[in-house]
Amino acid sequence: MLDIVQLRKDLDAVVARLQTRKQPQPYLDVVAYQALESERKALQTRTEELQGQRNSLSKQIGMLKGKGQHAEADAAMARVAAFKAELETSAARLEVIQAELQALLLAVPNLPHESVPVGSDENANVELRRWGTPRRFDFELRDHVDIGEKLGLDFETGSKLAGARFTFMRGPIARLHRALAQFMLDVQTQEHGYTECYTPYIVNAETLLGTGQLPKFEGDMFAVKKGGQEGEEVPDTQALYLISTSEITLTNTVRDTVLAESDLPIRLTAHTPCFRSEAGSAGRDTRGMIRQHQFDKVEMVQIVHPEKSYEALDAMTSHAEAVLQKLGLPYRVIVLCTGDMGFGSTRTHDLEVWVPAQNTYREISSVSNCEAFQARRLQARFKNAQGRNELVHTLNGSGLAVGRALVAVLENYQNADGSVTVPEVLRPYLGGLEVLTPQ
């Protein structure tokens, strides 16, 4: 959530920065905001005046009674009573205004950092670097669907069990998928200092509000229907959702918390399934595993001192890169432009892995600095050197998306006979197996 103080000080600058984001506009209903803010200021000014007058009269009442001026004291008491009624009415209205301002601001995205390239869509993203050289094949190239079907990748069974965009794996492909996740966790925990976590896959609405999935992106979530007595209605406050990323659960561990400055940075990682409805993606990547309703991901989250968040962003990007380098998978790193950034991010680095059958790079990790945007919603703070509570900065990134890594390994390490060479770093996780052979 944006800083209300910043909005009050320089609304024009905030609006100008928001307008660099993806169309259509506006992200902030300026007219509604100004009307609410104007009424809030007027009410607060009037409240302060009334409180001052009430306090002054309260002092006079005692003096008047002491002098025997009971009529004047009664008149002053009547005025104090009137002030009290108006103050109570004002307080109730202020509470409503604050709630309306909160609802308004919860739908507004974060401000892009000044270093982010301005652009309307992905065509304005800027490539930072590349690593590795795409392999040249001297045989007919297959995509991961054709390769995987002979190794236990079963889209038909996945569709039968759950519908389109679900996958079933058995045998060698399931082992490879598991090996990738274990390898990624080991890299992040043993080499980069993350603490491995196991988190719930189902969360409440308050948790999603904290990291920004609600209220704006409820359509992207899978809601969970609770069991209960027939006809029993479950209140909205008890609504539950499947997580779309463990960023949600990991970041919320510091919700409503005041940390010691010495606690920072906090580095957390988890391997979880992720559930996304893929609203708005009809017709995109319908073949294969690139875009699924359920997929696995090893997530990285850092909670850091505000002065360290851009240093942490670069470090987390390198932590994701390390996995791809160890797997020997060519990739590139790009910085997303203002029109292609996620809702809560101020700056995002995407890692795109080479997918031979598509002859292009595809996203496999997105690493974002949210600055204080999530922390403000979460009320996640630390006690700074001056002894004051200050909002932390939060960052998140994939380290990596397991399913897309599986796609990249299958396609980049395929052989002419339909087998797949196992990357050396994964062989210890597969009992020393060097090649996956079609069944």
Q: Which residues are annotated as a binding site for L-serine?
A: 245-247, 299, 398
Which residues, at least 6 apart from 413, have a Cβ–Cβ distance to it below 8 Å?
Answer: 420, 421, 422, 423
Q: Is 291 a catalytic residue?
A: yes
Which residues, at least 6 apart from 273, have a Cβ–Cβ distance to it below 8 Å?
Answer: 201, 294, 295, 296
CA dihedral 102, 104, 106, 107 (to 10 degrees): 180
Q: Is 363 a catalytic residue?
A: yes
CA proximity to 167, closest of 343, 410, 424, 373: 410
Q: Is 142 a catalytic residue?
A: no
Tell me the C-alpha distance between 83 and 330, whole Å: 72
Q: Looking at 142, 165, 175, 276, which residue is catalytic? A: 276
Q: Looking at 149, 196, 206, 363, which residue is catalytic? A: 363
* Binding site residue list: 245-247, 276-278, 299, 363-366, 398
* Binding site residue list for ATP: 276-278, 363-366
Q: Looking at 366, 371, 377, 390, which residue is catalytic? A: 366
Q: Is 276 a catalytic residue?
A: yes
What is the DSSP-derived secondary structure letter of residue 422? P
Q: How far is CA 116 from CA 107, 156, 158, 344, in A?
A: 21, 42, 40, 14
For residue 133, the tally of other CB atoms under 10 A from its CB is 8
Q: Looking at 40, 79, 291, 427, which residue is catalytic? A: 291
Q: What angle do CA 284, 116, 355 make, to 5 degrees?
A: 35
Q: Looking at 17, 267, 404, 411, which residue is catalytic? A: 404
Q: Which two tokens stand for residue 296?
A: 């696995």
Which residues are annotated as catalytic?
Answer: 276, 291, 363, 366, 404
